[in-house]
């Protein structure tokens, strides 16, 4: 009578570090966390990083975990996937509430934490890039990061931050309140700043402790792919874009009112991008009042503004990090109208770049139809001029840092 033999015991033996390093370089698993509470900036930057890393590491599997309500509207290349978290809104500088599930804040937070925990531990990334908040929104990442380390996972942990977070004193208080420096010191391998110290130095302005400063690398600004402009006849082209559009209605209305008051001899061809987060009531009101203006095109949303930038003579926009990087990449005459709440990030950035001669600026209390049109006409008359030099090599340095970290020994 035949009987089944007892199964042989299986012993898992870790491959040599050289084998693991080679695997990490050939086909790394990379996870990007983007909490995305308002606007389009975080998810645009996250997608740009994901595409750059996929280009550098062709065999990579890249997973984005995001709270963006519009992630589905963007083109997601092969080899990149995403997991959607319940949406949050930032109501104050450091306070967040559910965007759609307003009556269930505790449950929304628990759901986000559970999704993050299962996604990160299940995917077991070789490298993980966390956007802006080392512990996640309201500390939602902290338990998972601790578990990664307790399990001996070799995940390289990176904190990526834009050039400016907020006014220095407020930012220092926020960093201390959230224990961000302690978290970075204990768990993170590196901090990447997507900027240059000559423009703004977070290490100095936000008083990074020495241990954190030693982990920090300035990568430079992130250049967008540039599309060559095709010369077209007709009036000068003006592009008006306010990012997600959630608070961009006043800028758009001011511009359109200015158009109405222009002398007939002044001709402009305008494109208005509302943004996917503009309230329907505001969008409808703008279209009802201005929808019949000649030489004005209205668009709800465009995931890729590259063709628009390429054809524009003048751009009117807010001063979010990603928008400014796009404008620096294309070198367009630009009038920045920065958001001034709930944080001063955009106002600080706009003032710095305007002071260095990159862009023009109108602050909110100075915004009038006549004043905006005067700056638009001046920009048209000046025509294209070379921008001052600036370091746009951020993506190349991020690829270099990633390769270096993936080559390194396990933590």
Each domain of the chain, given as residue ranges in start order, spans 18-222+393-407, 237-382
d(CA 318, CA 278): 14
pLDDT of residue 7 exceeding 50, the answer is no
pLDDT of residue 121 exceeding 70, the answer is yes
pLDDT of residue 20 exceeding 60, the answer is no
* Averaged pLDDT for residues 316-345: 93
* 18-222+393-407 matches 237-382 in fold: yes
CATH entry 3.40.50.2000 includes domain 18-222+393-407: yes
Give ∠ CA 368-371-372 in degrees, rounded to 5.
85
* Averaged pLDDT for residues 139-144: 94
pLDDT of residue 229 exceeding 70, the answer is no
The per-residue pLDDT for range 56-80, each reduced to its tens digit, is 999 999 999 999 888 888 889 999 9
Identify the pLDDT of residue 55. 95
Identify the pLDDT of residue 4. 45
Residue 33 pairs with which residues in a beta bridge? 65, 130
Identify the pLDDT of residue 2. 46
pLDDT of residue 1 exceeding 60, the answer is no
The per-residue pLDDT for range 359-368, each reduced to its tens digit, is 999 999 999 9
What percent of the chain stands above pLDDT 90? 68
Alpha carbon dihedral 338, 250, 334, 293, in 10-degree steps, equals 170
Residue 138 or residue 8, greater confidence: 138
pLDDT of residue 17 exceeding 70, the answer is no
Number of H helices, E strands in the chain: 15, 15
Query: What is the residue-averaged pLDDT of the chain?
Result: 89
The per-residue pLDDT for range 248-285, each reduced to its tens digit, is 999 999 999 999 999 877 889 999 999 988 999 999 99
Identify the pLDDT of residue 9. 53
Identify the pLDDT of residue 15. 56
Identify the pLDDT of residue 92. 67
- Region for 361 from its dihedrals, namely left if φ exceeds 0, alpha if ψ lies in -120 to 50, beta otherwise: beta
d(CA 215, CA 253): 45
Read off the pLDDT band of 410 (50, 70, 90).
very low
- The CATH architecture annotation of domain 237-382 reads 3-Layer(aba) Sandwich (3.40)
């Amino acid at each position: 009578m035949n009987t089944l033999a007892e199964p042989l015991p299986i012993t898992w033996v870790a491959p040599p570090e050289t084998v693991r390093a080679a695997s990490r370089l050939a086909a790394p698993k990379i996870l990007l966390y983007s909490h995305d509470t308002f606007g389009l900036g975080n998810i645009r930057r996250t997608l740009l990083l994901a595409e750059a890393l996929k280009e550098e590491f062709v065999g990579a599997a890249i997973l984005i975990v995001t709270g963006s309500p519009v992630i589905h509207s963007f083109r997601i290349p092969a080899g990149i996937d995403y997991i959607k978290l319940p949406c949050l809104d930032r109501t104050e500088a450091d306070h967040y509430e559910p965007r759609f599930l307003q009556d269930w804040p505790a449950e929304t937070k628990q759901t986000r934490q559970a999704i993050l925990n299962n996604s990160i531990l299940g995917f077991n990334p070789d490298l993980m890039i966390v956007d802006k908040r080392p512990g996640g929104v309201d500390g939602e990442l902290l338990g998972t990061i601790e578990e990664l380390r307790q399990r001996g996972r070799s995940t390289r942990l990176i904190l990526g931050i834009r050039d400016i977070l907020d006014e220095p004193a407020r930012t220092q208080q926020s960093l201390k309140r959230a224990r961000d420096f302690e978290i970075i010191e204990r768990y993170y391998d590196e901090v990447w700043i997507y900027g240059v110290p000559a423009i703004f130095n977070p290490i100095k302005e936000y008083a990074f402790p020495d241990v954190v400063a030693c982990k920090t690398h300035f990568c430079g600004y992130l250049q967008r792919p540039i599309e060559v402009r095709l010369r077209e006849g007709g009036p000068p082209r003006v592009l008006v874009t306010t990012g997600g559009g959630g608070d961009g209605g006043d800028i758009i209305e001011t511009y359109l009112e200015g158009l109405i008051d222009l002398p007939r001899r002044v001709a402009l061809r305008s494109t208005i991008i509302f943004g996917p987060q503009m309230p329907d009531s505001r969008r409808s009101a703008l279209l009802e009042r201005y929808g019949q203006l000649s030489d004005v095109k209205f668009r709800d949303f465009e995931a890729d503004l590259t063709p628009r930038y390429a054809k524009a003579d003048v751009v009117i926009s807010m001063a979010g990090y990603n928008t400014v990087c796009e404008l620096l990449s294309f070198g367009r005459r630009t009038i920045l109208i920065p958001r001034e709440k709930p944080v001063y990030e955009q106002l600080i950035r706009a003032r710095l770049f305007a002071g260095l001669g990159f862009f023009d600026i109108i602050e909110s209390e100075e915004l009038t139809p006549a004043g905006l049109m005067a700056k638009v006409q001046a920009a048209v008359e000046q025509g294209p001029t070379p921008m001052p030099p600036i370091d746009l090599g951020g993506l190349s340095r991020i690829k270099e840092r990633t390769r270096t970290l993936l080559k390194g020994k396990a933590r």
